């Protein structure tokens, strides 16, 4: 009798695990498709949409300040320079996602990248927002993890803003739910 109960329990656990894996794959595909849609937006349109999100104040707190030393922005792509020429910081209202002029410099996680902001500071999911010299794509670099070409890779800083706003809305931290 105990053997039959054990087999039944193991069978139920196996079914539950299989269901969770299938559900996770489905959610992964949906999220990947949404990020692909965001990344496919032409950069001029992404810039326009990002500007609306940054100025409306429902998801991000932005500090506007003139740049004092423009040379520190020289290695950055035009889109990243443009956002940092206007804003000193762009921070999600919950403080979890930040673009910060003060942290621009070599990545502490991976050589060859320039850090433009921290993310999820003080959590197990802490990362650096980085770019390569003169390149538009923005990446989330996590310590001890390889670069994910689907999640955490954005066509430009504007695409990152659009994806971040969506994530904040989904989590309820963007004032939109």
Q: What is the pLDDT of residues 47-60, one digit of tens each?
A: 999 999 999 999 99
Say how many Å lie between the first and final Cα of the chain, rounded: 50
The domain limits of the chain are 1-40, 42-171
Query: Which pLDDT value is given to residue 27?
Result: 75
Residue 9 half-sphere exposure toward CB, CA atoms < 13 A:
6
Residue 37's φ and ψ, nearest 5 degrees, are: -60, -45
Query: Which pLDDT value is given to residue 150?
Result: 78
Query: Which pLDDT value is given to residue 171?
Result: 85
CB 153 within 8 A of CB 74: no
Query: Which pLDDT value is given to residue 163?
Result: 95
CA nearest neighbour of 60 among 94, 13, 110, 103: 94
Q: Fill in the DSSP letter of residue 156.
A: S
CATH of 42-171, one of 1.20.1260.10, 3.40.50.2300, 3.30.70.270, 3.40.1580.10: 3.40.1580.10
Stretches where the chain sits below pLDDT 50 are 176-177
Q: What is the pTM of this model?
A: 0.82
Q: What are the pLDDT digits (tens) for 69-78?
A: 778 888 999 9
CA nearest neighbour of 88 among 73, 66, 71: 66
């Amino acid at each position: 009798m105990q053997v039959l109960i054990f087999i039944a329990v193991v069978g139920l656990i196996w079914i539950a695990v299989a269901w969770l894996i299938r559900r996770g794959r489905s959610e992964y595909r949906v999220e990947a498709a949404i990020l692909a849609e965001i990344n496919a937006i032409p950069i001029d349109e992404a810039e326009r949409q990002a500007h609306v999100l940054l100025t409306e104040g429902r998801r991000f707190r932005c500090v506007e300040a003139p740049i004092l030393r423009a040379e520190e922005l020289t290695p950055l792509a035009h889109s990243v320079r443009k956002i940092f020429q206007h804003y000193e910081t762009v921070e999600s209202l919950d403080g979890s996602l930040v673009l910060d002029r003060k942290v621009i410099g070599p990545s502490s996680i991976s050589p060859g990248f320039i850090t433009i902001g921290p993310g999820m500071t003080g959590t197990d999911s802490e990362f650096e927002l980085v770019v390569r010299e003169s390149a538009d794509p923005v990446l989330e670099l996590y310590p001890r993890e390889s670069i994910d070409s689907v999640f955490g890779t954005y066509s430009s800083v504007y695409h990152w803003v659009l994806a971040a706003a969506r994530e904040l809305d989904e989590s309820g931290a963007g004032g939109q739910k």
